[in-house]
Chains A and B, each alone.
Chain A
Amino acid sequence: MSRFAKTHLGRRDFLRTSAAAGALTLATPGLLRAQSADIHMQTWSAAVDTVQSHLAAFTAKTGLTVDYGNSPYAQYRDAMVTKFVGGAPLDMMWVSDAWLPEWAEAGWIAPIDENETLMAYNAEADDFCTNSMTYGGRQYGLTYYSDYMAFFYDAEKVAAAGFDGPPTTWAEVVEQSLAMKEKGISEHPMMLAMAQESWLIEFISALVFSHGGRFTDEAGASVMTSSPGVQEALQWVVDAVNTHKIISPACVETGELNGLKAFSSGNHAFAMIAKYRLRTLNDPAQSSIAGNVKQAMMPMGPNGSHATVGWMRFHGMSAAAAADATRAANTAKLIEWFGGKADGAYTFQKLLFLDIGAGFGTKPLFQDPDIRAAYDSYGDVDMIQAQQALAQKKDVVTPWFGEWNETNGSAWQSAIIGNTDAAAAVKASSDLWTELKDAY
């Protein structure tokens, strides 16, 4: 037989190969299932190395194996909804407080409040953290990280403008900003990132809460038009952009990250940014105003307070895991390992803080010497804790939050760019809220 003939694929060979390939394809899910881990964990792509090392310690301690997957935060909700609907194996996952009602109502995640070991950690958590993990009177997880919207200022610019300290009210923000404009210190002293992205509701909520406003009442009905703080907050932004010109009209295209870059490059004197960014802002390698950035209490509106918005990300348990006693027990162990104590200490939250500066909602960590030392190198830990105590849970987090949020963001942007006035924008947002609430 020639060499060519030996390598030629005959009909029998073809059929044999095809059959083998088909059999392998059919057998693959079974093979994969046979190698399946004890716990399936899904997170967004943050602190991946820290998570993996903490998981390795968990497996070494308990002998339980964990199948860990992650996807970018921007696509996380879509990816998780697809997994839930498609019945993908899931036991523990990171959950944002913004999705809690939606996922709970759909029956995708389960409460953990019947587990006394996990619930014992509430005693050491900030109230707004526990509240943010609670929906319909049931608690759905333990804290992964929490943070709040902070008000930062460039102390050098404030001093150069002739002021002794940072503004304490939104009116003083305008006053100091106008002085800075007049002295040529900054063209747009206040940085506000109002681009249509997931951060927008956090900025809006901080403005509204500090103006003494609420979006909804205790029953979840809209009070946007009757609560003066909402319209006052939006009107303040509209005036700051169009009348005083202390905020750039480009704010509607500025996202949180670009806003951070603009502030850290020294373009502005004041900024509303997530508190955990303080480390970046005072890092000489990443910020040209490092050392000058200080945190002040959130300025107040005429009828407001120093309140701000806080948010939570937490470790939740899938309903599928909760339905199986063994899976539920294993998952609870993993939740405690990450959201509670591991070997007697809040190891993961501390690692996360030291690694990426992520905030925590566990009060004893504020007394941890390592954490105080880290905070002291770039911030005022007492100020940080004082502002955190005034953080409020977003009152718009409902099963219809996603739909409303899209329109609310557009309405605020429309008012800022002059397409409509503040009252009409707030009314449009309020009307949609009522419509969606009725529909649900």
Chain B
Amino acid sequence: MTATDIPHTRKRGVWDRIGYEERSALVFLAPVMAVLMAVAVFPILYSFYISLFRIKLTRPNRQPFIWFENYTDLLGDHEFWMSVGRTVTFTVTSVAAIAVISLLIALLLNEQFRGRRFLSTILLIPWAIPYVANALMWKWIYDSGYGALNGVLYQLDFIDKYMVWLGDQDKTLMLIANAFVWKEVPLATILLLVTLKSIPDDLYAAARVDGATVWQRFVHVTLPAMRPGFMLVMIYETMMAIRHFDLFFVLTEGGPGSASHVLSWHIYVETFRNLSFGSGAAMSYVLALATFGLSYFFIRTLGRRM
């Protein structure tokens, strides 16, 4: 074979088979793909990889490969399951409250009345506040010594002496849930309001012709038509609540005792205080899978008949 024969015998590769435009697209997308691989795909895969090791940063020379031991250890970890229980309580309470409150506000804002635009605007304020600022604000409100909550209740004669709020283990989780709900309601309201606006007026007109009352129109027209909006709210808020960390970090650091020691806090302590990256990564995967499972559940149930 001579050198001049080569062009005639060379097979066409993938690069030659795609057109100029596709090649250009690949070239221009390559940097973005590389960045995504570096900052998203690689960390996800790498975190799973390190979850198979007993990695403790302070013992850099002793990091054995232990297969799935970090995962199986979780089954017998009492503190882990206690934190799962608190996470479930926090999530169910928060998401239920967000769904109900945002539905009521969305129904209100769907009506025409004087001051509606103003109300819609101030509704967005909690949403616009950064999470940590929100947490610091609630820390100030709940403070048992100089907090605004005690001040207001005392001024209104609801209490005769300042109460302990975050330091009371029976109240802590619900108070944090309250701060979370306050922050999340605006977005949920907007999502539900958009859904409400999309319900055709014809449906209500037909229901009126059939003699449906206001309550019947709400139950048989509004609620079923809001299913997509509810699904979105439930999935998003559940994910946010399960993974929520900021309020626990700023308000209580898991205390008092372990009253607010939820799963996200447990993962933080394990990973960044105990510096056990292997078991921390395993817990994070469990949390991610739980979030994925719940999202799938909501899509399967609320998404049905859509």
Contacts and interface: CB of A to CB of B under 8 A. Distances in A.
B145 A262 contact: yes
Contacts of B164: 248-250, 253
Interface in A407-437: 409-410, 413-414, 416-417, 419
A105 B167 contact: no
A217 to B, nearest CB: 23
B257 A403 contact: no
A251 interface: yes
A410 B255 CA distance: 7
Interface string A244-287: 00001111111000100010000100000000000000000000
Contacts of A249: 164, 167-168
B272 A250 contact: no
B275 A402 contact: yes
Nearest to B260: A196
A106 B59 contact: yes
A226 to B, nearest CB: 24
Nearest to A187: B161
Contacts of B57: 81, 85, 106
Contact of B58 (A102, A248, A409, A414): A102
B269 A106 contact: no
A-side interface mostly: helix
Given A102-B58, A106-B58, A249-B164, A410 B144 contact: no
A81 B255 contact: no
A276 to B, nearest CB: 23
A406 B256 contact: no
Given A410-B258, A417-B256, A258 B167 contact: no
Given A81-B57, A410-B257, A253 B273 contact: no
A414 B258 contact: yes
A81 B167 contact: no
A78 B272 contact: yes
A251 B167 contact: yes
Contacts of A126: none
A399 interface: yes
Contact of A250 (B144, B253, B254): B144
A267 B143 CA distance: 15
A241 to B, nearest CB: 10
Given A78-B272, A262-B145, A403-B274, A196 B169 contact: no
B244 interface: no
A105 B58 contact: yes
Contacts of A253: 143-144, 164-167, 252, 255-256
Contacts of A38: none
Contacts of A417: 167-169, 256-257, 259
B183 interface: no
Interface residues of B, number: 29
A419 B58 contact: no
A134 to B, nearest CB: 19
Contacts of A187: 161
Contact of A402 (B167, B256, B274): B274
Among A103, A251, A252, max chain B CB count under 10 A is at A252
A142 interface: no
Given A402-B273, A406-B274, A248 B60 contact: no
A251 B61 CA distance: 41
B272 to A, nearest CB: 6
B261 interface: yes
A258 B143 contact: yes
Contacts of B257: 252, 410, 413-414, 417, 419
A240 interface: no
Contacts of B58: 81, 102-103, 105-106, 399
A195 interface: yes
29 contacts: A78-B272, A81-B57, A85-B57, A102-B58, A106-B58, A106-B59, A107-B60, A107-B61, A196-B252, A197-B253, A248-B145, A248-B164, A250-B167, A251-B167, A252-B167, A253-B256, A254-B145, A399-B59, A402-B273, A403-B274, A406-B269, A406-B274, A410-B261, A414-B257, A416-B256, A417-B168, A417-B257, A419-B169, A419-B257
Given A249-B167, A399-B58, A417-B256, 10 more contacts: A85-B60, A196-B255, A250-B164, A251-B167, A252-B167, A253-B166, A253-B252, A253-B256, A254-B145, A410-B255
Interface of A: 78, 81, 85, 102-103, 105-107, 187, 195-197, 248-254, 258, 262, 267, 399, 402-403, 406, 409-410, 413-414, 416-417, 419
Interface of B: 57-61, 143-145, 161, 164-169, 252-259, 261, 269, 272-275
